[in-house]
Amino acid sequence: MSARIEGRPAALKQRGCGTLFLALFLLIGGFFVVVMLRAGWRTAATYGWRQTECEILASEGRLRRDSRTDKPPFEFVARYRYTWQGNELTSERFSQAGARFSDWSKIRRLVRKYPPGSRVACYVDPESPSQAILERQGFWILPLLVLPLLFVFIGVAGIYRLWLGGKKAKNKVEALSRGSRARKRWIGPVLFATFALVGLGVFVGIFLPSAVRTVASQRWKAVPCRIEFSRVGVHRGDKSTTYSVDLLYSYEIGGRVYRSSRYRNFDFSSSGYGAKKDVVRSLPRGAERTCYVDPADPANAVLDRSPSLGLLFGLLPLGFFLAGLFGLRYLLRRKNQRTVGGMPAPEVRAGPLVLEPKVGQWGKFAGMVVFGGFWNAVVAVFLYHVIDGWRRGRPDWFLVVFLTPFVLVVLGTIFGIFYYLLALLNPRPRLTLSPGVVQPGAAAALTWELRGKASAVRRLKIVFEGREEVTVRSGNRTSVRRHKIHESEVYDSGEGMMTRRGSVSIKAPRDAMHSFEAGGAKVVWALRVEGDVARWPDIEVEFPVRVAPASAFGGAGTDDDETNPEAVRNRGLSLQLARAAYAPGATVDGTAEWELEAAPESLAVRLFWRLGPRSSGIAEVVSEQLFESAGARGQRAFRLDVPAAARSYQGELFSIEWAVELVASSPDRVVRADVHILGGE
């Protein structure tokens, strides 16, 4: 009955293609790691420079009119002098990275920080005293190493797995019981917490202040301003080029001249050169325009205070935050669930239980709103360029054709939001189950009630269903395969025979597999409520039901009649089990023998279960016995306890298989014997 979980070696052609693909990851990640480490090293070197006092002779912001369009147009220039070993020196170097910016407000802050005549600290290279800087850069670039290092890890680990991961010593059986999911349970929470924190940080740090400024600017004072500079900024990346509106304008408040470079409150470089060019044409040098100034801070101004589509793009980090938050909540709830050897522990509830829907009507509506808002915000950014092209008489037909299926999804989400909004007004089913946990082979009482306008329901059906579910990952795609293992109709009101409440009984088969979830494999039991509502969205709600193992209700079962199965041997190790089958809560007993060329560092016998062969192949140890002071040869009896919730299972999509392993280390040897755990009927 056992099926070993072993990966098949990939064909040479597949390995070659995979290696080329993974090598690309390795090269890209390695390149950026080298670049970032060199930048970090240069920054670290400045922290060994000597600090001395400098006097600012002059400081100002300059507009680089003759600069290239792919360079920031504004530059902070400061000239200062300092004394080094009795010699007076001067420098205009601000930092290793220079002081060029696309935002004039940064220039303004530096001019205020370094006014002429002030004395500040500067840093001098002792090996080249003529080299000095006013500010040392921080090490903010080093945390960003995580991303390219991830690329490097994927490349190295993938290539290793392709060429070396499948190689095994001849006649060697690997110890499946060595791997335990418990060691990796921190990965999921850390990943989701990172998603949530990054999304929240970007949302609060970038989007929220811009949104607040956009709302506040509607009350700002309108003043005349003069355009001093405007151009289309070009920002070239590895695979694409984006554009921005670079400009500088001046205005007067209280007899004092101020400058600003902000076009909108929320503006960033993006594709679409034509739209940026049109803005620049409307703002020629010397033109008089109206800008809007913050009365509380006259240095804060904006030329266009209308909300932009970029604000919708700012909702993307909110999606990351919500995804991380819900994922973290799910994992924490799973962590609090009691388990026995990695399996859900039996939960016997004698009293009635009000069942909670898997996803309520409000949950469906909220989910559709979140997905629709996220999807539509992204599509709107590209749709804007399509509309802008039509408006200017230069439609981009390729973009029109490309966006058509995405726009159809937009229309579908709008319909879905409206549909689930109407469904909120449907009658709400309320199910009460007694006992709250179903025992295989025993009937449970189900009471149902429709709250709301029950007369609108023409027909009501309640179906009791059990199914297998397996999450399948293929590349970047994830899908869920389902197989129904049980379905019974427990109630059907008939056409036009609807009543507001009623009671029925449900029953899981005596040999039914209990509720189970591990490693992407599930056995799910649920009550499905279907209501036909005239000229309105129908009722479709699923209520999960807990089916506990029969052994949890005191059904201990009996051990199999088969005795003295054949001993299994491998490279000096031997296992002899007393029986091939055991009941939940029983004890697996047998004898372990070994004859090795040297005494092992450790020797242990383990009882474990594993998923296979069409699912994740995880293994969980539930019982272990160590043999202390084991010599090169020996024989020991062992007794391993079987959890009360245990059972073997052979389904269509996955199986739960039990085995005992005798594992020796240094020398590394293992021998495995399969056992069958009865269902406890």
Q: pLDDT tens, 230-240?
A: 999 888 765 56
Does the pTM surpass 0.75? The reply is no
Burial 331-344 (b: 16+ CB within 10 A, else e): beeeeeeeebbbbb
Same domain, 577 and 536: no
Q: What tokens does 36 get?
A: 């970032």
478 and 539 part of one domain: yes
Q: Is 324 exposed, middle or buried (0-12, 13-18, 19+ CB in 10 A)?
A: buried
Domain-located, residue 319 = no
* pLDDT tier at 117, thresholds 50, 70, 90: very high
**Higher-confidence residue: 639 or 170?**
639
Please count the structural domains in the chain. 4
Question: Any idea which of 32-36, 95-99, 161-165 has the lowest mean pLDDT?
Answer: 161-165
Q: For 503-519, what is the mean pLDDT?
A: 87
Q: Is residue 171 part of a domain?
A: no
pLDDT of residue 341: 45
Q: Is the pLDDT of residue 487 over 90?
A: yes
For residue 81, give its domain range: 48-133
What mean pLDDT is predicted for residues 446-468?
A: 88
Over residues 663-676, the mean pLDDT reads 89
124 has pLDDT over 80: yes
pLDDT at res. 552 = 58
User: Could you give phi then psi for residue 236, rounded to 5 degrees?
Assistant: -90, 130
pLDDT digits (tens, 9 = 90+) for 387-437: 767 776 666 677 677 778 888 888 888 888 888 888 888 888 999 999 888
Are 437 and 293 members of one domain?
no
What is the rounded average pLDDT for all residues in the chain? 81
**Per-residue CA distances from 137 to 94, 127, 466, 573 (Å):** 10, 19, 61, 62
**pLDDT-derived band at 2, boundaries 50, 70, 90:** very low
Residue 346 pLDDT exceeds 60:
no
The yes-or-no verdict on residue 479 having pLDDT over 70 is: yes
Residue 18 reports pLDDT greater than 90:
no
Residue 59 has pLDDT above 90, yes or no: yes
pLDDT above 80 (res 385): no
Answer yes or no: do 531 and 390 share one domain: yes
Q: What is the pLDDT of residue 8?
A: 41
pLDDT band at 555 (very low <50, low <70, confident <90, very high): low
Same domain, 415 and 295: no
- Together in a domain, 544 and 435: yes
3-state secondary structure (DSSP) of residue 356: coil
Task: Please tell me which residue, 554 or 595, carries the higher pLDDT value.
Answer: 595
For range 515-527, the mean pLDDT: 87
Phi and psi, residue 532, nearest 5°:
-95, 115
Q: What is the pLDDT of residues 271-285, one digit of tens each?
A: 778 888 889 999 999
Buried b or exposed e, range 617-627, using 16+ CB within 10 angstroms:
bbbbbbbebeb
Residue, of 196 and 66, whose pLDDT is higher? 196
Residue 180 within any structural domain of the chain: no
d(CA 222, CA 459): 63
- Which of the listed residues 98, 133, 168 is the one where a domain comes to its end? 133
Does residue 454 or residue 186 have the better pLDDT?
454
Q: How far apart are CA 678 and CA 681, in angstroms?
A: 8
Q: Are residues 417 and 503 in the same domain?
A: yes
Burial (Cβ within 10 Å: 0-12, 13-18, ≥19) of residue 673: buried
- Written as six digits, the tokens of 149 are 């290092």
Lowest mean per-residue pLDDT among 50-64, 186-200, 512-526, 539-553: 186-200
Instruction: Answer yes or no: is pLDDT of 557 > 60.
Output: no
Q: What is the CATH number of the domain that holds 578?
A: 2.60.40.640
pLDDT of residue 236: 75
Q: Quick check: is 58 in a domain?
A: yes
Comparison of pLDDT for 126 and 534, the residue scoring more:
126
Answer yes or no: do 271 and 364 share one domain: no
Q: Is residue 168 part of a domain?
A: no
Domain termination site, one of 256, 287, 304: 304
- HEC sequence for 53-74: EEEEEEEEEEECCCCCCCCCCE
Q: 75 vs 23, which has greater pLDDT? A: 75
Domain end residue (candidates: 304, 328, 351) = 304
Hey, what are 277's tokens? Answer: 């060019």
501 plus 650 within the same structural domain: no
**Helix H or strand E encompassing 289:** strand 288-294
Q: What is the pLDDT of residues 127-185, one digit of tens each?
A: 999 889 999 988 777 777 877 887 888 888 888 877 775 544 444 456 766 544 444 56
For residue 681, pLDDT over 70 is answered with no
Rounded to 5 degrees, what are φ and ψ at 166?
Answer: -90, -5
Lowest mean pLDDT, pick from 1-10, 82-91, 214-223, 528-537: 1-10
pLDDT category at 75 given cuts 50, 70, 90 is: very high
| 292 and 384 share one domain | no
394 versus 632: the higher-pLDDT residue is: 632
| pLDDT of 5 | 33
Within-domain flag for 16: no
Round to whole Å and give the CA distance between 413 and 421.
Answer: 12
Q: Does an H or E element contain 390, and which?
A: helix 361-391
At residue 590, the pLDDT reads: 93
